[in-house]
Amino acid sequence: MIAPSIRQSVPQGRPRRGSSPRRALLLLALTGLISGCSTDAPPGSNGVSGDTAPTTAEIVVTAAPEVDAMPKSGTAPGVGGPVRSMAGHFEVRYAADSDPILVNTMHSWVISLRRPDGASVEDARITVSGDMPAHGHGMPTQPEMTEALGGGDYRIEGMKFQMAGAWEVYLDIVDAAGLADRVVLPLRFE
């Protein structure tokens, strides 16, 4: 019987990148296959006539590249809203320059900013960020408001989503009087 020993290619005490239950199960299955292989040779023999020295096989396990379960392509609606801000001070509608919005494509939006009574909000500052909560990462770009178009409309450039799934776009808004609030725009790329 061949008794396997395993040499890891990373230092002990440091978690291995990309460890998963599936890899652990694969390793266990490989160990079982190797240790389960036998001959009719007596115990303590390696199966070669005249040689009774134990033999050890070495398995070198290397991590395979991570396979992301989320597809790298997809679309989301290019127009949305109205969405009310968290404290109820503003309402936002958005329209992307492409409909639908494509994953991995740089694009811009026009944001229409209104008060709940429908009055347009002029001279606002808008800071844009995004997050993919299920993955714990944000957008690969840093979108920014580049132009006030008048009538409560603002151009946002540098929008890009790198993968399909559920996203949140955050618009942190400060109006001319200093009133601040946040709008969360949920997007789902299918």
* String of DSSP letters for 85-114: -TTSS-EEEEEESSSSEETT--EEEEEEEE
What confidence score (pLDDT) does residue 74 get?
Answer: 81
pLDDT tier at 3 (50, 70, 90 boundaries)?
A: very low
pLDDT tens string 100-147? 999 999 999 999 999 999 999 999 999 999 999 999 999 999 999 999
Q: Which residue has the tokens 């008048």?
A: 150
What's the Cα-to-Cα distance from 58 to each of 23, 34, 41, 61, 116, rounded to whole Å?
18, 10, 21, 10, 69
pLDDT value of residue 67: 38
Q: Are 4 and 33 in contact (CB under 8 A)?
A: no
- For the purposes of burial, counting CB atoms within 10 Å of the CB of 173, is it exposed (0-12), middle (13-18) or buried (19 or more)? buried
**Domains in the chain: ranges and CATH:** 3-61 (no CATH), 75-189 (2.60.40.1080)
Instruction: Indicate whether this model's pTM tops 0.75.
Output: no
- Model confidence at 20: pLDDT above 80: no
Confidence at residue 76, expressed as pLDDT on a 0 to 100 scale: 87
**SS3 at position 40:** coil
- Around 125, how many Cα atoms within 13 Å sit in the side-chain half-sphere? 7
Strands 144-150 and 165-174: unpaired
Containing H/E element for 32? Answer: helix 21-36
What are the C-alpha distances in Å from 141 to residues 88, 105, 177, 178, 189? Answer: 28, 11, 29, 27, 17
